[in-house]
A = this chain, B = another copy of it.
């Protein structure tokens, strides 16, 4: 349920309402929108009697929330959430671009990539330090050393850092280093990890699972938000289908559908979405045209020799060209990059 507050509610009245929610054994979530403040309630099994709240001072209305995802739904919060990633707003008018290699490989590689993408207008640097890999015998990332190199790249370029959190054991180290915590596709329904990132206060980029439905993606985001971490953004990165000519099938439909259902920012990952270097730019353009709030792109100085995902990594030069194209598309949908 959603308790909508009067515009002129006092802090005391709001605190009293939240206290009442807690008394009943539930959890209140204050949700501020442009026009109104509301209190979302979670922790209930089944509907709550609005009679508990309707007469309390400051309560304007009590609205049942029909979506199974509550706090992330547009029903509960109409206005777009703008996530602040160390000063970079995501979900506002600007289309934000995150770029960098799949994995941090060494200092020269990450610094070259960082400088390249910064020069072309990226705001965040991506790069995996802890890599989940299908085979136990494949390169699993530089781990802490990878995080250190990302920090170094941040110091030098000013780019903010997004990197994957692989498990709860290494979460503290990633929280220490990163500006934005990425939950990868394989972990989208690793609920213990979702709860753990829900308990920290760092923004989270949640990627859609390889064969997750849009609803499951929203439910996974709800796991994080229900723990009090409201700084979440979603990322469409391609789903698994029968088509073998591309690595995944980027579900472009997910962009407008998610934007309609949730107030959270929605990003697109064209690199994993198509998996073919020469077509990444076309899918990036499509993502922005469909309404994405940002892009995450794999860029590598020498894709042919990348340790991971070389086939879908573009060069800094290709990235520069892509950024020019993206700026034009963004302008055509009244946004900027």
Contact = CB atoms under 8 A, between A and B. Distances in A.
Interface in A191-240: 191-193, 195, 210-211, 213-216, 219, 222-223, 226, 239-240
Nearest to A187: B190
Contact of A241 (B239, B257, B288): B239
A316 B89 CA distance: 37
Given A168-B169, A223-B136, A242 B260 contact: no
A54 B245 CA distance: 35
Contact of A286 (B245, B257, B287): B287
A90 to B, nearest CB: 19
B289 A273 contact: no
Interface in A231-279: 239-246, 249-257, 260, 273-274, 276, 278-279
Nearest to A185: B189
Nearest to A275: B253
A219 B219 CA distance: 28
Nearest to A238: B253
Nearest to A245: B214
A260 B278 contact: yes
A79 interface: no
A72 B288 CA distance: 31
Given A187-B190, A210-B211, A241-B242, A285 B276 contact: no
A274 B69 CA distance: 22
Contacts of A244: 213, 244
A63 interface: no
Nearest to A210: B211
A223 B186 CA distance: 15
Interface of A: 42-45, 68-70, 132-137, 166-169, 186-187, 189-193, 195, 210-211, 213-216, 219, 222-223, 226, 239-246, 249-257, 260, 273-274, 276, 278-279, 282-283, 285-291, 325, 328-329, 331-333
Given A168-B168, A240-B242, A282-B289, 6 more contacts: A134-B216, A167-B193, A241-B241, A250-B253, A256-B282, A332-B332
22 contacts: A68-B135, A69-B135, A135-B219, A136-B195, A136-B219, A136-B223, A137-B222, A167-B168, A168-B169, A186-B189, A211-B240, A211-B242, A239-B243, A240-B242, A241-B241, A252-B283, A253-B273, A256-B283, A285-B290, A285-B333, A288-B289, A329-B332
